[in-house]
């Protein structure tokens, strides 16, 4: 039995999720592995989910949108992969991905990157790079094509607007 029975696939709900999923499915088929699709919701700056006045409404909107997206992506993978599970978590992306990889016993992480460089990378950071540096399992990175990065979701945009007042 090889160590790649479970592949964790963190998906950006508004970026290159389909492309990453296609590559993850190819790997899962080749390895006879299962997939755990993960969406991590990290609320916009200024939105505190513990605040009952704003947090509950925002959390519900983000949850509904992420659950819908996760269901779509899981349905795309199910016909081709022996085992597909969808997981939704709230929190900081990098620590959540790393914790979920450990919790799921994932032998590999397959994730996308927007390939930012220069000032954009300094300002926005690189989730993929942080995961690669800290992961205890191999990480396969799928590069997003130009123009697929940073398209905010409807709930995300609404949450940011509400936080700004």
- Whether residue 20 lies inside any domain: the answer is no
- Whether residue 160 lies inside any domain: the answer is yes
Question: According to the model, what pLDDT value does residue 113 have?
Answer: 82
Count of domains forming the chain:
1
Contact between 141 and 148 under an 8 Å Cβ cutoff? The reply is: no
Average pLDDT, the chain: 80
Of 85, 108, 112, residue with least CA distance to 27: 108
pLDDT digits (tens, 9 = 90+) for 11-55: 986 667 899 999 999 999 999 999 999 999 887 666 665 566 555
Model confidence, pTM: 0.80
Question: According to the model, what pLDDT value does residue 56 have?
Answer: 64
Is pLDDT above 80 for 105? yes
Q: What is the CATH number of the domain that holds 107?
A: 3.40.50.620
- Whether residue 28 lies inside any domain: the answer is no
What torsion do the CA atoms of 44, 49, 50, 55 make, to the nearest 10 degrees?
110
- Whether residue 29 lies inside any domain: the answer is no
- Whether residue 25 lies inside any domain: the answer is no
- Show the domain range for 120: 6-14+36-87+94-164
């Amino acid at each position: 039995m090889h160590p790649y029975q479970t592949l964790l696939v963190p998906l950006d709900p508004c970026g290159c999720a389909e492309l990453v999923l296609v590559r993850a499915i190819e790997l899962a088929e080749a390895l006879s592995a299962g997939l755990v699709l993960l969406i991590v919701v990290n609320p916009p700056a200024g939105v505190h989910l513990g605040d009952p006045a704003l947090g509950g409404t925002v959390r519900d909107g983000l949850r509904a949108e992420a659950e819908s997206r996760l269901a779509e992506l899981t349905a795309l993978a199910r016909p081709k992969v022996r085992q597909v599970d969808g997981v939704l978590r709230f929190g900081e992306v990098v620590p959540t991905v790393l914790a979920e990889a450990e919790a799921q016993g994932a032998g590999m992480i397959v994730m996308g990157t927007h390939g930012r460089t220069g000032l954009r990378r300094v300002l926005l950071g690189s989730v993929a790079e942080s995961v690669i540096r800290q992961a205890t399992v191999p990480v396969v990175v799928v590069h997003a094509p130009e123009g697929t990065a940073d398209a905010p979701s409807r709930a995300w945009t609404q949450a940011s607007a509400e936080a700004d007042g």
